Amino acid sequence: MRNQIAAANWKMNLTLQQGEQLLDDIFNAGIHLKDNQQAVFAVPSPYLTIAQHKLAAATNYFASAQNCYNKKSGAYTGEISAEMLHSLGIKYCVIGHSERREYFNESNQMLAEKIVLCLDNNITPIFCCGEPLAIREKGTQNEYVQTQLRELSKIFHQNNLRK
């Protein structure tokens, strides 16, 4: 049976108390996931350990990082590495969200590096591809996303990042 994953990104919303309440409300709703279903909550980095602890009590519920840096370690104040996420037991990490691409100018090369670091640390990347509103309004979103995927694939192939 095919796995089904529903992922929710909190973005930069909710206080710690609001986030805890949201998770409590979800658990109290009595939602029981099947073996092939997973619910993944991409929470802000300061909440990862708390979300991880709360979610551990439920089957097939996971905390995800919203991002990681494209370097293994170093003087990158405020960033979080895939190795750090792994040390917390995080199983998922969102990579390439449209806001990260737009506001932080993340390139496909940078995203490829992040994916490799996640995989090296047994973290499943949730790779985001998508288009800005202007592209959607033109009706060229499919070509835009295909280009993103082609470019990423080319980077992997050219740099022999993963087989």
Digits of tens for pLDDT over the chain (163 positions)? 899 999 999 999 999 999 999 999 998 998 889 999 999 999 999 999 999 999 988 899 999 999 999 999 999 999 999 999 999 999 999 999 988 998 999 998 999 999 999 999 999 999 998 888 899 999 999 999 998 899 888 888 787 765 4
- pTM of the predicted model over 0.75: yes
Instruction: Say which CATH architecture domain 4-158 belongs to.
Output: Alpha-Beta Barrel (3.20)
Alpha helices (H) along 4-162? 16-28, 48-55, 82-87, 98-103, 108-120, 133-138, 141-158
Alpha helices (H) along 29-63? 48-55
* Residue 44 to residue 64: CA distance in whole angstroms: 9
